[in-house]
Chains A and B, each alone.
Chain A
Amino acid sequence: NAGVMQNPRHLVRRRGQEARLRCSPMKGHSHVYWYRQLPEEGLKFMVYLQKENIIDESGMPKERFSAEFPKEGPSILRIQQVVRGDSAAYFCASSPDFSGANVLTFGAGSRLTVL
C-alpha cells in the first residue's frame, strides 16, 4: 500500500512560469483534497475533488490556480504565472468516501519554490 503519492517532491520555478503538482490517492480512495502550507503557517484547505468533479473549491485563489481529477490518472493542481507568494508546501490528502476529516490520509507534500 503506497499511500498518497505526490510528485514532484520539490519544484523550482521562475516567476511567470507554470507549476503542475500531481497527486495519486491511496488505493481504493476516490476523494482528493489539496491543502497549502505557507512558510511558518498552518495548512489551509484549497479544494476537494472527486473523479471528474470539483466538489468544493472555496479555498482556491480565484486566479491562476486550477485543479482537476480526471477519470484516469492523478489529480493535478496547476498554478499559472507563478509569483513568489506561491512558494509553499502543497499537500494532497485522500479518503475512501465522504467520511469526514478524521479519515484523511496525507501525502508527503510538494514543495514549490518560486525564484
Chain B
Amino acid sequence: KQEVTQIPAALSVPEGENLVLNCSFTDSAIYNLQWFRQDPGKGLTSLLLIQSSQREQTSGRLNASLDKSSGRSTLYIAASQPGDSATYLCAVNEDSSYKLIFGSGTRLLVRP
C-alpha cells in the first residue's frame, strides 16, 4: 500500500532563505507526482507536476525533483517570501487516475 510522508511537518524561516521540502513514497511504481499549495480557507493549488519519466520541473522560484528509485521528491523554493507561507502538499498518482495519495503536508512560515 502506497504511503506518502512529508518531512518536516512545519518549518519557519526568515525571508530570503532558500529552502527544501521533502516528500517520500513507499512504492516507486508511480505515474506522476504533484506538489500543491494549500492556503487557509482556500482550495488546493497545483504548483508542479512531474511525470514518472521526468527528473524535475521548474516554475519561477520553485523547482521540484523526482527520484523514483529512492522514492523521494523535493520541492526547492528559492529566495523565500512571506507570501510563500502556506501548507505544501505532495501527492502521488499511481495509475493516471483521479486517485491522488497525499502526504500530510509541510506548514511553511516565512518570517519578514
Contact = CB atoms under 8 A, between A and B. Distances in A.
Contact of B102 (A42, A108, A109): A42
A107 interface: yes
A42 B97 contact: no
Interface string B41-66: 11111100100000000000000000
A56 to B, nearest CB: 8
Contacts, number: 65
Nearest to B92: A101
B73 interface: no
B28 to A, nearest CB: 18
Interface of A: 3-4, 9, 31, 33, 35, 40-45, 48, 56, 59, 91, 93, 95, 98, 100-102, 104-109
